[in-house]
Amino acid sequence: MLKIYNTLTRKKELFQPRVAGKVGLYVCGMTVYDYCHIGHARVMVVFDTVARYFRHQGYELTYVRNITDIDDKIIQRAIENGEDYGTLTERFIDAMHEDERALAVLPPDLEPRATQSIDAIIAMIKTLVAKDLAYVGSNGDVFYAVNQFKGYGQLSGKNLDDLQAGERVGVDMAKRNPMDFVLWKMAKANEPAWESPWGLGRPGWHIECSAMSTCCLGNHFDIHGGGMDLQFPHHENEIAQSEGATGEKFVNVWMHNGFVRVDDEKMSKSLGNFFTVREVLQRYRPEAIRFFILSSHYRSPLNYSDEQLNDAEAALTRLYRALNEVKSVFNETVDESYITRFKQAMDDDFNTRVALSVLFGLAKELNKIKEADPHKACALAATLKYLGGLLGILQNDPESHLKTGIVSQSTSEFTKWLIHDDEQFKKDIEKQIEERRNAKKAKDWARADWIRNSLKDSGVILEDAPDGTTSWRIPTRMEVDPYGK
RNA sequence: GGCUGCGUAGCAAAAUGGUUAUGCAGUGGCCUGCAAAGCCAUCUACGGCGGUUCGAUUCCGCCCGCAGCCUCCA
């Protein structure tokens, strides 16, 4: 029985799809004028995990995540760069898809773009004007008349009197009420513009999502998600627009993920304290980023730091180590109790942290019986990999996970990936292992230890198995550089 | 000022009205030529003050501290 925390009611509720077996999910995506940062990555990973779980539970899911490809910041950035705004957005859409693939985020079913939804947007604004919920301001822009919509503030728990509009930002004299927001914006010279009944212009941000979501999922759908900061005014405005225009209930469940923080402050473009996904990927494997995001509850704040990423990598490596050298065969009988506990965790508002702890329980049992009971080990490994897959992790080859890593040369800033496929590198290590084996045979411990230490200095750790064989691995960052430089 | 939410051991992070979270780090042991990994054991907790209760980290109130929203933001 899946329970989801609904921002609208501020309670965990039993999830009941509108239509049995089907789920419509809409998530506010990126405004594409720059690279995705870790905060964006969190939205992608969180809702990807939600989507994977719905599918796994047998729901027929339609997952929609929009792209805002026209807005003030895009126009401004394009001007700064001296390029066409479309070229700019295409570039960052491609980059976003790249980041997404790196983080094992499966593409949404539909990815509508604002610029391709202009007709639907105009149609909705027309309806709102006809219903007197919108008006043309003195500057020609079309505004939503917030006073005309009864439940305004229901999602954010705000009321119009308390909002004290204009306190922080100069009131636009073209509006009737300071809280009114723009639906259609008149174009200035040389700005991208579309024909409309109100003249050449472009859509406001809020109306895009109302139009795109109802277009893709219908007037009334199951779940709408996005970052916490979109609760107000963005999602509040969406409710006003959609319910105002259609007269129907818009969304049953509102899901909001918490922020990524840096030094206890929200990571954001405006504060400039952001790390882009591609920046972090220079230093950490993508799976560590995904693990890091999943290691806290999606509604909690998540503090970004090297230490946290190091931790995530170490934890992930523990799981891969358990998996290593066990053939996981899927048709083995699996221990249902782990699967049950995993599902209980996920059913409780997608508690990925608890779900992960189930994986560690599995890993521990697996480590214990690896030698003694290979058959059961296979079953446990299969279970571990299967549950990891539901979270979008543990799908790599364990050996290549262990033999790949980032080695920091402490004397300089130099860091590099040591790729397991580097044949010369591998050969060299094997040669030294062979040499050490001979030294061990001759009980020349000094020589054997010297080889092991010298390899360690160059970032390779040797492990002797009980049967006399020696394997090697790249240490995690935690082992090399515990304080994260 | 208004409205949300949070405060758990060295770090991170869950659950829970009475019973082991979990990962990393620490300590002791097993294993090992010695290590590493693994296993076993173990030390560090529930911001403060009251209240409800047989019993509260968990419920309620107040206080303190922190974050977010009230402007664009995932």
Tens of pLDDT, residue by residue over A92-118, are: 999 999 999 999 999 999 999 999 999
Provide the pLDDT for residue A347: 96
pLDDT-flagged residues of chain A (< 70): 164-171, 328-333, 406-421, 481-485
Separation of A161 CA and B2 C1' (Å): 9
Tokens representing A433 are 């292992």
Eight-class DSSP state of A18: S
Separation of A239 CA and B74 C1' (Å): 19
DSSP string, A44-105: HHHHHHHHHHHHHTT-EEEEEE-BB--SHHHHHHHHHHTS-HHHHHHHHHHHHHHHHHHTTP
Q: Which nucleotide across the nucleic acid strands is nearest to A27, CA versus C1'?
A: B74
Q: Which residues 275-304 of chain A have a CB under 7 Å from nucleic chain B?
A: 295-297, 300-303
Q: Which nucleotide across the nucleic acid strands is nearest to A71, CA versus C1'?
A: B72
The model's pTM is 0.95
Exposure pattern of A345-361 as b/e (b: 16+ CB <10 Å)?
Answer: bbbbbbbbeebbebbee
Provide the pLDDT for residue A26: 98
Q: Which residues 38-67 of chain A have a CB under 7 Å from nucleic chain B?
A: 39-40, 42-43
Residue nearest to nucleotide B70 (CA to C1'): A163
Provide the pLDDT for residue A411: 35
Separation of A68 CA and B74 C1' (Å): 12
A324 CB contact with strand B at below 7 Å: no
Q: What are chain A's domains?
A: 307-401 (1.20.120.640), 412-480 (no CATH)
Q: What is the pLDDT of residues A192-219, one digit of tens each?
A: 999 999 999 999 999 999 999 999 999 9
Strand A142-144 and strand A134-136: the pairing is antiparallel
Helix, coil or strand: residue A24: strand
Whether A324 contacts A406, CB under 8 Å: no
How would you class A203 by CB atoms within 10 Å of its CB: exposed for 0-12, middle for 13-18, buried for 19 or more?
buried
A227 CB contact with strand B at below 7 Å: yes
* CA distances (Å), origin A32, targets A39, A50, A68, A93, A213: 14, 23, 6, 6, 18
Provide the pLDDT for residue A174: 87
Compute chain A's Rg from CA coordinates.
Answer: 27
State which nucleotides on strand B lie below 7 Å from a protein beta carbon: 1-6, 11-15, 21-25, 31-40, 66-74
Q: Which nucleotide across the nucleic acid strands is nearest to A38, CA versus C1'?
A: B74
A435 CB contact with strand B at below 7 Å: no
Strand A265-266 and strand A260-262: the pairing is antiparallel
Q: Which residues 352-371 of chain A have a CB under 7 Å from nucleic chain B?
A: 353-354, 356-357, 360-361, 363-364, 367-368
A4 CB contact with strand B at below 7 Å: no
Residue nearest to nucleotide B2 (CA to C1'): A162
A231 CB contact with strand B at below 7 Å: yes
Provide the pLDDT for residue A138: 93
A431 CB contact with strand B at below 7 Å: no
d(CA A47, CA A70): 23
d(CA A193, CA A47): 32
Q: Which residues 195-224 of chain A have a CB under 7 Å from nucleic chain B?
A: 205
Separation of A13 CA and B2 C1' (Å): 28
Place of tokens 């999922």: A217
A36 CB contact with strand B at below 7 Å: no
Separation of A392 CA and B50 C1' (Å): 47
Separation of A367 CA and B39 C1' (Å): 8
Q: Which nucleotide across the nucleic acid strands is nearest to A475, CA versus C1'?
A: B36
d(CA A92, CA A30): 10
